[in-house]
Every structure is written in structure tokens, then in C-alpha cells.
Amino acid sequence: MINIGVVGYGYWGPNLVRNFAETPGLNLAAISDLDAKKLEVVKKRFPAVKTTTRYEELLADPSIDAIAVATPVSTHFALGMAALKAGKHLWIEKPMTETSDQARQLVEEAEKRGLVLLVDHTFIYTGAVLRIGEIIKKGELGNVLYYDSTRINLGLFQRDVSVISDLAVHDFSILDYLLGEHPAAVSASGINHFPGTPENLAYITLFYDSKTIAHLNVSWLAPVKIRHIVIGGSKKMITYDDLEPSEKVKVYDKGISFTEDPAQIQEMRVGYRTGDMWAPKLIGTEALRVEGEHFADCIANRKTPMTDGRLGLRVVELIEAASHSMAAKGEVVYVRRDPSDRRQAKAPRRQFDKGTTEHTASKS
Ligand SMILES: NC(=O)c1ccc[n+]([C@@H]2O[C@H](COP(=O)([O-])OP(=O)(O)OC[C@H]3O[C@@H](n4cnc5c(N)ncnc54)[C@H](O)[C@@H]3O)[C@@H](O)[C@H]2O)c1
């Protein structure tokens, strides 16, 4: 049984607490928040759980094995590093840190101490994303040609982070999990409609060596809530509507075949295929419960989490690259590659050098 303490009982913290309290393998041991009033609410619901406004008490408690950090992003690095230095396994909310340098330091500290570091990219543990991952890994989609996501609503305007850190971060992690490839370059345009606030709307394009292209439309300023993704493969295509109560994922046996046979050059070179549509059965368990069990298993059996610190770091690198591009009105920014990222070797390499027509064509 892993004793876990949660720091931060604001909007997201209560979801962690509720799930950890019921997750086999985890024992909810303590909760810390700077706001004593929030802790009173906790005491009513979980009388046996220790509460404190002083985070240091969790660190000093030798019975606590792991800490979950669910505080604002600006505090993640200091609180996360203190937890690791106190020898605690770490669950940290997305995005992992404000800068990639901070994320790298957390990864190195956890590795040096042999501690488990999980970044809460919750979508990866949903039945929908796990199932789409299986379908892609089995090769049913063929080559992934594109990923198109719309993630908009009349959202809560954040003071400290842009809509990229708040919403696009979900697609960055889903793409990382599904494609197993880090983008070569990113171009982003965005705007803050209200002076002195971070960008509330952004359009982001990601370019991959393997010729996949991804486009993300994220906004806190839309009249309706949409969470819709289309993934186009060379064999089949998928739609994923996260707001659908059932049949969130649909697989379409639709596509085109393209001939380059010189004998048919005068003919129609594109053939269209329209077959069946099916909706695969998805695991209904709440993602945070699946993730909590996975965290406990990783600690007990010294496994690497599916959403480990390195994935968290890659996501923060993408946020930085996209924010950089957004500041330069959509200029293409080349994404830093981690030389120790063994997954890069799997993807066929294509050169995206600055100024190549291939690159310009993708941007236009
Ligand atoms: N995984 C997801 O899908 C998901 C969804 C929403 C939010 N989040 C993440 O969760 C984190 C928290 O977001 P939120 O919306 O709950 O924020 P919030 O502002 O609602 O809550 C943060 C809480 O942390 C407390 N806090 C701050 N510093 C503290 C400290 N040093 N010690 C103890 N408590 C402290 C605050 O008092 C507050 O109650 C963010 O990183 C956010 O990105 C993740």
C-alpha cells in the first residue's frame, strides 16, 4: 500500500483526492492547502485523513511514500523538487513546469534517486485514447497522415498561463502517445483579446518527420463546447468526440488510393473507398482511477509510467516552441530533440531544413 499526500485542494485536487481514496494500492494519507477553509471541507469528507496548511509537514512525514502536486503551474518546480529531495515518489500535474529547464531538472533528480515521476496527462488514461492507441499500433489506420483537433469553449480565463498551456497541452500529450514521435517543427498563431492577459485563442500546426501533420484549434472564447478530433490514416480514419456519452470513437473504413502508374496517367489517379463505420467498445473506468492504479503499480514494481517525466518534458518543450512561434506571428520554430530519445530512431527521417519548398508548402 502506497501512502500518498496531495498538495493543492483547489479545482483539480479534489478529483485526485476522490480517486486516490478509492484506488486499490493507494492510501490517501494527507492533504495540504494554503487555504485552511478548503481543508475544513476535506475534514468533513475524509475525517481520517491528516490535513495541514504546511506542505513541509508532508515532506517530513516518513510514512508518506508519494506526493501529488496539484497547485498552480508556477509552483510545480519548487514543490516537486522538494518532494523528490525528501525521497518521495512524485505525481505532478500538467503542464509539468513553467520551463523545459525546470522539467529536465526534475527528470534528472527523480532518475538519480530512483524515484517514480508521473506527469498527470490524464487523457492518456481514458478508454478512448487507449483504444485509439491500440488501433494505430495494430496498423489498422495505416500511416497517420493527419490529426485535427478542435478544443474550444467559453473557458475559464487563466491569469498565469495561455490557452496553449491549458488546452493544447492535452493534444501535445495525446499526439506524443499515439505517434511515438516528437514533431520536427511548430508554427502557432494566437491572440489575447484582453490587454494584460495571456493568449485566449490559438491555432497550432505541428510538422513531423514522418510526414504526419497536426492542427490544433484551442480557445476559451467560443459559444459552444467542442472536443473533437479527426485522425486520418492511409487505410482508415477515426473521429473522437469526447463529449459523446457513448460511441466517442468511430472508425471509418474510408480513404483514397492514389496511383502513379504511367499507363494510367491520363485516367483519374485517385480511387475513393467508402466502407463501414464501427464504434469500438471503450473501457468505462474513470481515467484518474486507471492512472492512480498505474502509479501505485509503477512504485511497487519500479516501472516507468506511461506518462513519465520525459513525456512531461517533451510537452513543456512544445509549449515553449509554440509560444515562441506565437510571439513571432506564426514563424516556424524547430523543436529541440532529446538525443537520448530512442523513439526518434523509429521514425523515418525527412529533412525539414529552413527554406525548403517542402517546408514552405506545409506552412502555407
Ligand atoms: N490533468 C488535468 O486534466 C487537469 C485539469 C485541471 C487542472 N489541472 C492542473 O492542476 C493544477 C491545479 O489547477 P487548479 O485549477 O486546481 O488550480 P486552483 O488555483 O484551483 O487550485 C490550486 C490550489 O493550490 C493551493 N496551493 C497553492 N500553493 C500551495 C502550497 N505551496 N501549498 C499548499 N497548497 C497550495 C491553492 O490554495 C489552491 O487551493 C494546475 O497545474 C493545472 O494545470 C490538470
CB 61, CB 5: distance < 8 Å: yes
Residue 326 has pLDDT above 90, yes or no: yes
237-254: per-residue pLDDT in tens? Answer: 999 999 999 899 999 999
Q: How far apart are CA 309 and CA 76, in angstroms?
A: 13
Report the chain's mean pLDDT, rounded to a whole number.
91
CA of 192 to the centre of ligand 1 (A): 23
Per the listing, cell 530512483 goes with 114
- Which pLDDT score is estimated for 274? 85
Question: Is residue 340 pLDDT above 80, yes or no?
Answer: no
> Given this model, what pLDDT does residue 275 score?
86
At residue 268, the pLDDT reads 64
Give SS3 for 181. Answer: coil
**Is 10 touching ligand 1 by the criterion CB < 6 Å?**
yes
CB atoms within 10 A of CB 302: 10
Higher pLDDT, 51 or 246: 51
Report the pLDDT value the prediction gives residue 220, as an integer from 0 to 100: 97
At 273, the pLDDT band (50, 70, 90 cuts) reads: confident
Q: Which helix (H) or strand (E) holds 16?
A: helix 13-20
The finding on whether 123 has its CB within 6 A of some atom of ligand 1 is no
pLDDT band at residue 259 using 50, 70 and 90 as cut-offs? confident
Are 191 and 199 in contact by the 8 Å Cβ rule? The answer is: yes
Cβ–ligand 1 contact at 5 (below 6 Å): no
CA of 58 to the centre of ligand 1 (A): 17
What percentage of the chain exceeds 70 in pLDDT? 90
What is the residue type of 138?
Answer: K
Cell numbers that stand for 98 in this block: 513553467
Please work out whether the CB of residue 291 comes within 6 Å of at least one atom of ligand 1.
no
Distance CA 360, CA 343 (A): 26
Q: How far apart are CA 99 and CA 107, in angstroms?
A: 13
Using CA atoms, how far apart are residues 151 and 220, in angstroms rounded to an integer? 9
Q: Could you read off the pLDDT of 7-29 as tens digits, one per residue?
A: 999 999 999 999 999 999 999 99
**pLDDT tens digit string along 130-172?**
999 999 999 999 999 999 999 999 988 888 899 999 999 999 9
In this structure, are residues 18 and 68 in contact, taking their beta carbons and an 8 Å threshold? no
Report the residue among 51, 58, 93 best suited for mutation to probe ligand 1: largest number of ligand atoms under 8 A from its CB.
93
The phi and psi torsions of 157 (rounded to 5 degrees) equal: -65, 125
Average pLDDT, stretch 183-190? 97
Question: Which letter, b or e, does each residue of 8-39 get, where b requires 16 or more Cβ atoms within 10 Å of its Cβ?
Answer: bbeebbbebbbbbbebebbbbbbbbbeeeebb
17 neighbors 6 (Cβ within 8 angstroms)? yes
- Dihedral Cα 151, 153, 156, 161, nearest 10 deg: 30
**Span 290-310, mean pLDDT?**
97
Q: Is the pLDDT of residue 69 over 50?
A: yes
**Taking residues 216-230, what's their average pLDDT?**
98
DSSP state of 133: H
CA–centroid distance, residue 11 to ligand 1 (Å): 6
Residue 52: the pLDDT is 98
Burial of residue 360 (number of CB atoms within 10 Å: 0-12, 13-18, 19+) = exposed
> What's the pLDDT band for 98 if we cut at 50, 70, 90?
very high
CA of 273 to the centre of ligand 1 (A): 48
CA of 96 to the centre of ligand 1 (A): 12
Q: Is the pLDDT of residue 101 over 50?
A: yes
Distances from the Cα of 72 to the Cα of 36, 43, 77, 159, 213, angstroms: 17, 22, 10, 10, 31
Residue in the structure block whose three cell numbers are 521514425? 347
- Ligand 1 center–CA 195 separation, angstroms: 24
Nearest to 316 by CA among 87, 161, 116: 161
Kindly tell me if the per-residue pLDDT of 343 is higher than 70. no
Whole-number pLDDT of residue 265: 62
Q: What is the mean pLDDT of residues 55-82?
A: 97
Tell me what the mean pLDDT of segment 308-328 comes to. Answer: 96
Pocket flag, ligand 1, residue 98 (CB < 6 Å): no
